[in-house]
Amino acid sequence: MDGDAVRRHERSPGVEHGEETADFLSYTAGFGLAVALTIASFVVAKTDLLWAPGIPVGLVVLAFAQIGVHLVFFLHMGSGADNTNNILALTFGLFIVFLVITGSVWIMYNLSTNMAGMGMAGH
Amino acid sequence: MTTTAIDEDLEELEIALGGAGPAPTRTVVAYGFWIFLLSDIIMFSGLFAAYAVLWERTAGGPTGAQLFDLKSVFIETGALLISSYTCGLGALSAERQHRNYFYFFSLLTFLLGGAFLFIEISEFVGMIDKGAGPSRSAFLSSFFALVGMHGAHVSSGLLWLVYMVAQAAAKGLTPVVLRRLLCFSLFWHALDIIWVGVFTMVYLMGAG
């Protein structure tokens, strides 16, 4: 038996062959995109490139784009082994995050506007 | 036919039938840690929600536009983003068993993370000196809770990084150490994702 055959034979379930999920190029591409999106966010916030009331929307879009870049290029969503489970968990997590944030803002805004004399006093 | 040849045939048959046994440990570990990271992000979503509800409640105190210095936030953001990149390159070097590159990129990651933390702590100290501490208003309470929680994560990440370098030095880049390193790099990248939310929602929207 040569060394490789021994390793194959004695390999316990679940021990990997040493697969690689990422390479230098994908990290660098992701880094470049993330830098561009970060700079774009600061430019949008600091200048009047966008119509003023549209700035928050622009910032949110840029933030989501950057989070997507991080997930794909740094966390290797979409290219890792057994990817379906990771994506399912991510989707469920994002759903909870969405519920917590929009739910809180929605309910608290309603409470605030219905609390005559207190809510809108700015305290 | 030798035993190993039969084993290999069996293995190929299993893979062909789609039942190749349990998933590799590395995949299972990454999945479990990913679940932890998502629950951590959900914890952060509570703090984001509190900030979104309270950011206009300044109780006559200073507002975000008066307190935030976008130039230092930009440097902070850059430091954390570059540290995320060097952390990824460090993990890649470790996987390819280039130990010296791993040390080099870990050092860069540590220095950049430390720079981020230094700027953040100076910002906090400056605000507290100006009387804009967490007890000044609901806005500032939620600000310090959210940004401070992120800073606490970065601090623990730096400690973890030191520990990982010590493990690599003491045990070598064994599969166990590489899996722990994978978890660390996932953690560090997740912190950068949360920071994207923080600088967009707190600093850029608050200062505008």
Backbone angles phi, psi at B27, to 5 degrees: -65, -40
Question: Is residue B13 assigned to a domain?
Answer: no
pLDDT at A25: 87
Q: What is the pLDDT of residue B59?
A: 86
B152 touches chain A (CB under 8 A): no
| Letter string b/e over residues A95-115, b meaning 16 or more CB atoms within 10 A of that residue's CB | eebeebbeebeeebeeeeeee
Q: Is residue B174 one of the residues assigned to a domain?
A: yes
Q: Verify whether the Cβ–Cβ distance A9 to B58 is below 8 Å.
A: no
Per-residue pLDDT, A4: 44
Contact A41 B200 (CB under 8 A): yes
**Contact criterion met (CB < 8 Å) for A96 and B21:** no
The pLDDT value recorded for residue B193 is: 95
What local confidence, expressed as pLDDT, does residue A122 receive?
46
With CA atoms as reference, the chain B residue closest to A96 would be: B42
User: Which of chain B's residues have a Cβ under 8 Å away from the Cβ of A105?
Assistant: 49, 52-53
Please state, in angstroms and rounded to a whole number, the distance separating the CA atoms of residues B102 and B125.
Answer: 34
Instruction: With cut-offs at 50, 70 and 90, classify the pLDDT of residue A69.
Output: very high
Q: Do B85 and A27 touch (CB under 8 A)?
A: yes
B141 in a structural domain:
yes
Q: Is residue B16 included in any domain, yes or no? A: no
User: Alpha-carbon dihedral of residues B27, B33, B35, B38, nearest 10 degrees?
Assistant: -130
Q: What is the pLDDT along chain B (208 residues), one digit of tens a residue?
A: 567 777 777 767 666 666 667 788 888 899 999 999 999 999 999 999 999 999 888 888 888 888 899 999 999 999 999 999 999 999 999 999 999 999 999 999 999 999 999 999 999 999 999 988 899 999 999 999 999 999 999 999 999 999 999 999 999 999 999 999 999 999 999 999 999 999 999 999 887 6
Q: What range does the domain containing B81 cover?
A: 25-207
Confidence at residue B15, expressed as pLDDT on a 0 to 100 scale: 64
Are A96 and B31 in contact (CB < 8 Å)?
A: no
**B156: domain CATH number?**
1.20.120.80
Angle formed by the axes of helices B175-198 and B25-54, to 10°?
20
In a domain, B99, yes or no: yes
* B interface test, pick of A6, A8, A104, A106 with most B CB neighbours within 10 Å: A104
Mean pLDDT of A59-70: 94
CA distances from B4 to A66, B11, B22, B137 (A): 49, 10, 20, 71
Q: Residue A2's pLDDT is what?
A: 42
* CA-only gyration radius of chain B, Å: 22
Residue B67 has which token pair?
Answer: 């307190």
CB B114 within 8 A of CB B173: no
Residue B19 lies in a domain: no
User: Stretch A54-80: mean pLDDT, rounded?
Assistant: 88
B17 falls within a domain: no
Tell me the pLDDT band of A6, cut-offs 50, 70 and 90: very low
What is the count of structural domains for chain B? Answer: 1
**Higher-scoring residue by pLDDT: B173, A53:** B173
pLDDT given for residue A123 in this prediction: 45
- pLDDT at residue A14 tops 50: no
